[in-house]
């Protein structure tokens, strides 16, 4: 991989399910800043805490008595951060206060939960989040206060409360989120929750003797899911299903009118577009593949240890090659679930994940990660090349780790190899004459810190924090210098899918500032902000990243979601602009893309307009 902690940033339902994340936002409450308090300028500045457990993690989560002392410390530490620090980042406030809201519910403090929810909208920024934030937990708290958790009346009241709140909301704003909520409920299962505790969290405790504040909230989330959400599974599925069936809405497609397909023109020169990703199936792209004198695809590749590699696609282990058709079918199943399509593939995924035994969690989740990595680069390439007969694909292949235990574990030696590989990729692109590079991946300092904890490196959270910063800076500096060394290349990158400020959490490349780097956020077909998209000062333009159809290796076409799908839309546009005006510099391409985009009234989105941008590029060529 190119930098420590690097991940591909495609957002799909499979990724959310594999990690056990909630689909709807947590309950939060506004916190007034205090100027006399230390100010948290970056996520990495937050204080760290350690938790020593007196039993196996699974026992702590299942037993109210064993959970209570852990929960009391988690509450105390979380409250101390909110009280003692000024935190301007609203996403961080939401995360911290979401932990407290869940603990309130588990402690039976239902009035406290509801009180927190009264102020939630002051911290939400996206329109759908403002409407839906805390929806499920609010219904649970109201029902528990009236009937008691676990009773039939409680379950009915939860469904009725959610349905009542949803009824007056604008469907075009919330429908995508409700589809995701339904899919999350349909695939919920105890085996997946317990499997993560056994295979991810327990090894951390066994290796280090403690659990950090990065992983500790996951125990509270797991207990809330087991005792509060899982018993409501059928009620939630039926409630969301009835809502979606009652008034299906076809959101308007703003992109069709903005689309540009360039006709063949013999006088135009090819534009080389590099897809710096997990590799691409070049058999699908014919004459659009750049080739060397021996007719081999133009390719540079490194494995996950940053050792030189060969091959257009990420290698699949021998024992799993026979499962590729099933893996790709499940990718389609997740896609159909996200779109609320009742297909055979979607039904298989629901049945598989719902009944997944904890003992099968590790191989199942690792196979999902492997399939996602294997497919990712081909899907991205299909988007980047569409509608442009002059685009020529150059492959920069990365291997992403897909195992639950990080492999490789972070080290200075690995960070330096990764940095060297970053420079090699960009040098190769420059020598090939590449004009546009798409990067649908990212990493941050927190990811490295988490990997260190999982690998048992560093005796304390503070030691891991220092090591993570050291390794992160090696990667960030190398990437920044590599991009700067090729000012003639436009680098286009995905903003990320964590619904965070990319600059605050220090995502790279998304948070890097350079004149030849453009960061892209994701919206849906109507231009509404995607629930998952990250944002921040470096995000200058938005493109469709919701259920975008493209290729998987082998030729199947599937719709996937993520800023990974939005970024190549902009790379595609840049290549078309360079086809009609090869003299444009990266800074000029960025300027035209940003200036011709449509700024929304809320000021949060700048919607790409390919037709206007290509016309502006052509007009500049004519002058």
Predicted confidence (pLDDT) at residue 524 exceeds the cutoff of 60:
yes
Give mean pLDDT, residues 545-570: 97
In terms of Cα–Cα distance, which of 462, 465, 460, 461 is closest to 448? Answer: 465
Region 222-250: what's the mean pLDDT? 94
Q: Do 163 and 272 fall into the same domain?
A: no
Residues of the domain holding 314? 256-319+362-622
What pLDDT does residue 150 have? 86
Q: Say how far apart CA 584 and CA 174 lie, in whole Å.
A: 40
SS3 202: helix
Residue 327 φ then ψ, to 5°: -60, -45
Average pLDDT over residues 27-43: 66
Residue 350 lies in a domain: no
Distances (CA, A) of 600 to 7, 193, 215, 529, 607: 30, 40, 37, 10, 8
* Contact between residue 455 and residue 525 where contact means Cβ atoms under 8 Å apart: no
Say if 334 falls within a structural domain: no
Residues 66 and 137 in one domain: yes
% of the chain at pLDDT higher than 90: 90
Q: Are 418 and 306 in contact (CB under 8 A)?
A: yes
The predicted structure's pLDDT at residue 500: 95
Long-range contacts of 116-123 (CB under 8 A, 24+ apart): 116/27, 116/28, 116/29, 117/27, 117/29, 117/141, 118/29, 119/28, 119/29, 119/30, 120/27, 120/28, 120/29, 120/30, 122/29, 122/30, 123/28, 123/29, 123/30, 123/90, 123/93, 123/94, 123/97
Residue 133 and residue 167 share a domain: yes
pLDDT at 238 over 50: yes
How much is the pLDDT for 249?
A: 79
Q: Are 221 and 61 spatial neighbours (Cβ–Cβ below 8 Å)? A: no
Hey, what are 333's tokens?
């199943």
540 and 408 inside one domain: yes
Per DSSP, the three-state class of 392 is strand
The pLDDT value given to residue 476: 98
Same structural domain for residues 306 and 163?
Answer: no
In a domain, 545, yes or no: yes
CA distance 222 to 95: 15
Task: Report residue 26's pLDDT band, with 50, 70 and 90 as the boundaries.
Answer: very low
The per-residue pLDDT for 504 is: 97
Pairwise CA distance, residues 108 & 103, whole Å: 9
Q: Are strands 7-8 and 211-212 parallel, antiparallel or unpaired?
A: unpaired
Mean pLDDT over residues 470-479, rounded? Answer: 98
Q: What is the pLDDT of residue 247?
A: 82
Same domain, 528 and 602: yes
Contact 94, 45 (CB under 8 A): no
Check whether 24 has a pLDDT greater than 70.
no
What tens digit of pLDDT does each residue of 133-192 get? 999 999 999 999 999 898 999 999 999 999 999 999 999 999 999 999 999 999 999 999
Structural domain ending residue among the three candidates 213, 246, 279? 246
Mean model confidence pLDDT for the chain: 93
Query: 452 with 599, same domain?
Result: yes
Residues 161 and 222 in one domain: yes
Lowest mean pLDDT among 211-215, 455-459, 474-478, 619-623: 619-623
Q: Do 228 and 268 share a domain, yes or no?
A: no
Is residue 472 domain-shared with residue 578, that is, in the same domain? yes
Single out the residue in 217, 246, 275 at which a domain terminates: 246
pLDDT tens digits, 130-149:
999 999 999 999 999 999 89
Using a 10 angstrom Cβ sphere, with 0-12 exposed, 13-18 middle and 19 or more buried, the burial of residue 321 is exposed
Number of H helices, E strands in the chain: 22, 16
pLDDT average, residue stretch 337-341: 92
One domain for residues 271 and 150: no
Measured between alpha carbons, how far is 500 from 498 in angstroms, rounded to an integer?
5
- Range with lowest mean pLDDT among 18-22, 282-286, 328-332, 430-434: 18-22
Q: Note the helical H segments in 581-609.
A: 586-596
- Average pLDDT for 67-90: 97
Which helix (DSSP H) or strand (DSSP E) does residue 300 occupy? strand 299-301
Q: How far apart are the C-alpha atoms of 143 and 155, rounded to whole Å?
A: 8
Residue 360 CB neighbours (<10 A):
14
Mean pLDDT to the nearest integer, 368-396: 97
Whether the per-residue pLDDT at 3 is higher than 70: the answer is no
- Percent of the chain at pLDDT above 70? 94
Query: CB within 8 A of 140, min separation 6: which ones?
Result: 105, 149, 158, 228, 229, 232
Instruction: Give the chain's length.
Output: 623
Domains of the chain: total: 2
Residue 446 lies in a domain: yes
Mark which of 193, 220, 246 sits at the end of a domain.
246
CATH number at residue 595: 3.40.50.200
Tell me the pLDDT band of 35, cut-offs 50, 70 and 90.
low
| Distances in whole angstroms, Cα of residue 243 to Cα of each of 193, 239, 409 | 27, 6, 45
- For residues 214 and 278, membership in a common domain is answered with no
Look at residue 16 and tell me whether its pLDDT is greater than 70.
Answer: no
Confidence of residue 13 (pLDDT cuts 50, 70, 90): very low
Residue 55 CB coordination number (10 Å): 14
């Amino acid at each position: 991989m190119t930098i420590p902690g690097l991940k591909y940033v495609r957002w799909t339902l499979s990724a959310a399910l594999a990690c056990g994340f909630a689909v709807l936002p947590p309950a939060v409450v506004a916190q007034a800043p205090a100027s006399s308090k230390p100010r948290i300028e970056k996520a990495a500045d937050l204080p760290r805490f350690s938790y020593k457990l007196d039993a196996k993690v699974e026992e702590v989560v299942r037993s109210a008595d064993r959970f209570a002392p852990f929960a009391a410390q988690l509450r105390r530490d979380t409250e101390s951060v909110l009280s003692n620090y000024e935190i301007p980042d609203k996403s961080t406030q939401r995360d911290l206060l979401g932990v407290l809201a869940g603990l309130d519910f588990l402690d039976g403090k239902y009035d406290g939960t509801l009180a927190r929810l009264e102020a939630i909208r002051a911290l939400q920024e996206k329109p759908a989040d403002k409407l839906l934030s805390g929806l499920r937990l609010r219904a649970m708290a109201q029902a528990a206060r009236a009937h008691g958790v676990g009773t039939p009346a409680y379950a009915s009241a939860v469904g009725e409360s959610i349905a009542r709140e949803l009824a007056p909301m604008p469907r075009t704003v919330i429908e995508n989120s409700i589809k995701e909520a339904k899919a999350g409920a349909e695939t919920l299962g105890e085996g997946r929750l317990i499997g993560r505790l056994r295979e991810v969290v327990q090894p951390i405790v066994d290796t280090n003797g403690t659990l950090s504040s990065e992983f500790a909230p996951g125990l509270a989330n797991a207990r809330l899911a087991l005792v509060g959400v899982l018993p409501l599974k059928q009620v939630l599925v039926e409630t969301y299903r009835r809502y979606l069936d009652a008034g299906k809405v076809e959101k308007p497609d703003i992109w069709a009118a903005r689309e540009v397909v360039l006709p063949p023109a013999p006088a135009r020169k090819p534009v080389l577009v590099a897809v710096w990703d997990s590799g691409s199936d070049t058999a699908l792209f014919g004459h659009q593949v750049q080739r060397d004198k021996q007719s081999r695809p133009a390719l540079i590749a490194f494995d996950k240890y940053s050792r030189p590699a060969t091959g257009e696609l990420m290698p699949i282990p021998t024992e799993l090659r026979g499962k590729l058709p099933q893996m790709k079918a499940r990718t389609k199943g997740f896609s159909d679930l996200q779109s609320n399509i009742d297909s055979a593939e979607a039904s298989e995924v629901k049945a598989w994940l719902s009944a997944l035994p904890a003992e099968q969690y590790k191989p199942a989740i690792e196979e999902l990660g492997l399939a996602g990595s294997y497919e990712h680069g081909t899907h991205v390439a299909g988007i980047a090349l569409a509608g442009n007969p002059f685009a020529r694909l150059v492959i920069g292949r990365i291997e992403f780790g897909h195992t639950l235990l990080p492999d490789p574990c972070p080290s200075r030696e690995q960070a330096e190899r990764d940095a060297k590989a970053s420079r090699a990729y960009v040098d190769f692109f420059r020598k090939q004459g590449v004009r546009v590079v798409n990067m649908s991946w990212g990493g941050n300092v927190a990811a490295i810190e988490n990997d260190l904890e999982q690998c048992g490196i560093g005796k304390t959270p503070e030691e891991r924090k220092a090591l993570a910063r050291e390794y992160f800076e090696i990667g960030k500096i190398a990437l920044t210098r590599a991009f700067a060394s090729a000012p003639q290349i436009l680098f286009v990158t995905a903003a990320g899918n964590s619904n965070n400020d990319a600059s605050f959490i220090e995502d790279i490349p998304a948070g890097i500032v350079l004149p030849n780097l453009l960061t892209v956020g994701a919206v849906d077909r109507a231009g509404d902000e995607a629930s998952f998209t990250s944002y921040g000062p470096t995000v200058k333009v938005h493109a469709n990243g919701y259920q975008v159809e493209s290729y998987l290796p082998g030729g199947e076409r599937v719709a996937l979601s993520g800023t990974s799908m939005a970024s190549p839309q902009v790379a595609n546009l840049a290549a078309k602009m360079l086809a009609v005006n090869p003299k444009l510099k990266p800074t000029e391409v960025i300027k035209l893309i940003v200036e011709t985009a449509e700024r929304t009234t809320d000021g949060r989105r700048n919607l790409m307009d390919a037709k206007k941008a290509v016309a502006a590029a052509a007009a500049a060529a004519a002058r």
